[in-house]
Chain A
């Protein structure tokens, strides 16, 4: 007997698999996210640099936190996004998910790099040295290495579909490893202050300080969404260049 095929996921999930539909919907979402990102980042930066009170110990040098913390949070979330997109690509054989994972890698690597650089600049006045072998710094550095590995594997594999599967496996293995790496280096050596934001506890800093930080974090997320969609759309066009709809789109404009 033929059973009707049951849909496991909501309808939009399957629609998203169509490059054409995805190109269209990201085209609509793009202005929303880019404007929100611009607004939040402007508001957050101005508030953080001009109006937030200086720290009672670190003075004005603490203000780099408004770049440092968002980029560190993003570096980790983007890795998770990349690995999950890779998993979706493997499980549902979805080309769009492969392209999302591909689009994520360099953005995540630059966020990890930004977190390390701002950390070094912040470390100089606070700890007295550019670099210390502290657990959080080391685990961020290892995260950057994981991104490098993923990007190197992409570059080495020729065919996009094969590269996507291989890097998805690698990023999933990395995802399993991230907590292990995090806790192993944490046990190994710790100097860094504890996490600024946790979901369960109230932040230790006053509201005038953490509110702009929250805005910056949200702004960074929107910025990530914007740049990811830009990369995704370029990737869709280049991989689908032989299809009728892309030809029509290119000739029309």
Chain B
């Protein structure tokens, strides 16, 4: 079981590493969206500091959302996905590995780049650690849940907007607790409760989402 997981994970990571655009594009998008807020709303430091937790979380969410489209697309187009599903290996593990690879190539870099944007948006420094931790846990949930929608729409010609439509309602709880964690760190309040809830949502999706991803992939591959 674990052998399949590692094989699939290393394959996906290798492919992502060879096509650097796959993980650079969401990062650049994250940077650009965060830059739009000072330009569009106000560059005043105290105002930006106030909206920074929400802006950073929303931008990270949108960056993850845009990267979902490619999650299964190339494997579907060249027939790899069909072969993976036909193989006797556990589709649960394959789905988990794919979502995991997606997180390593989008969520992880996003969380690591967040401090830079946090400084640009004048987020108080005591909240930066919470921002990174909440993004690390939260984007993992986003990848797992997003993979379901990506798997459902992979066979469709116009998947892009549809994915957002399917996934945004499911992302709302993660956004609420992620942004609240950062906000309460800004206010000097304890953050463990928020992080614990983010963690429990992650645990739930870690266990359940691969079933839904595998079932959705089977539907999408079927004629």
Contacts and interface: CB of A to CB of B under 8 A. Distances in A.
Interface of A: 90, 142, 145-146, 148-149, 152-153, 156-157, 162, 165-166, 169-170, 172-174, 176-177, 180-181, 184-185, 188
Interface centre among A146, A169, A173 (most CB of B within 10 A): A173
Given A156-B162, A162-B219, A169-B216, A180 B152 contact: no
B169 A169 contact: no
Given A166-B152, A170-B152, A188-B180, A153 B166 contact: yes
A177 B201 CA distance: 10
A195 B222 CA distance: 44
A153 B162 CA distance: 7
B173 A180 contact: yes
Given A156-B162, A173-B212, A180 B219 contact: no
Interface centre among A152, A166, A188 (most CB of B within 10 A): A166
Nearest to B173: A184
Interface of B: 145, 148-149, 152-153, 156, 158, 162, 165-166, 168-170, 172-173, 176-177, 180, 197, 201, 204, 208, 212, 215-216, 219-220, 222
B173 A181 contact: yes
A74 to B, nearest CB: 19
Contact of A166 (B172, B176, B219): B219
Contact of A148 (B153, B165, B201, B222): B165
Nearest to A163: B219
Contacts of B176: 184-185, 188
B153 A156 contact: yes
B167 to A, nearest CB: 8
Nearest to A184: B173
Contacts, number: 67
Contacts of A166: 152, 216, 219-220
Give the secondary structure class of A's interface.
Answer: helix
Give the secondary structure class of B's interface.
Answer: helix
A149 B172 contact: no
Contacts of A181: 169, 172-173
Nearest to B220: A166
Contacts of B197: 184
A174 B177 CA distance: 18
Contact of A169 (B168, B173, B215): B215
Nearest to B156: A156
B166 A152 contact: yes
Given A166-B152, A185-B176, A172 B169 contact: no
B206 to A, nearest CB: 13
Given A145-B169, A166-B216, A185-B176, 13 more contacts: A142-B172, A145-B165, A153-B166, A156-B162, A162-B219, A165-B215, A166-B152, A169-B152, A176-B204, A184-B172, A184-B177, A185-B172, A188-B176
Nearest to A148: B165
B172 A172 contact: no
A190 to B, nearest CB: 13
A172 B152 CA distance: 13
